[in-house]
Amino acid sequence: MNIRFKYKSDALSKVITTIIIIALIVLFGVIILISLGSYFSAWLFAFIISFILIYTLSIPRYIDVSDDSVDIHCLLELTSINIEDITRVRTLKNRDMRGCIPIWGSFGFFGYYGYFLNLKNMELIKLYTRSWGNFVEILDLYGQKYIVSCANPQEFVDLVVETKSAFKSK
């Protein structure tokens, strides 16, 4: 069994992504006009491009639920959580995610992903979402919290719980 849950971007994420891309294009144009080909502009371009590339590597694409793991696929990153290591999986409401601030990650640039600090509980969570809603919390044995989003969060939770119980009965 291998069931895939796709991500869908929300309107706010699309707007933020568009604004950031336009701002970067304008910034590149201004730097080229001001610096007139100096080394400063080359170093700044290299820094900005590498920073953008690091972020784009972690853009969430889809989630696979198989018989033995939940795999969160990003552009060039894979997070695999063993089914037997999952202690809790549940849906979250948007109000549960209030007070989450990015420590190292994106807040709108092609989604919401990376390490976030939940100020309510003062805990570090890993966020893999493309829209700010339909949240599912996955807690593993080691205390790591993963927050994902998908179009059908309750279906995802039910499938993971069913797969976990089937794994235990083997």
Residues, the chain: 170
Amino acid at 79: T
Q: Where are the domains of the chain?
A: 1-170
Question: What is the C-alpha to C-alpha distance for residues 160 and 120, in angstroms, rounded to an integer?
Answer: 27
pLDDT of 101 reads: 87
pLDDT of 33 reads: 80
Does the structure show a pLDDT above 70 at 55? yes
pLDDT of 52 reads: 82
Question: What is the C-alpha to C-alpha distance for residues 1 and 4, in angstroms, rounded to an integer?
Answer: 10
pLDDT of 157 reads: 93
Summarize pLDDT for 139-149 with one digit per residue, the tens: 999 989 999 99
Indicate the class that CATH gives domain 1-170. mainly beta
Per the model's pLDDT, the better-predicted residue between 167 and 73 turns out to be 73
pLDDT of 37 reads: 66
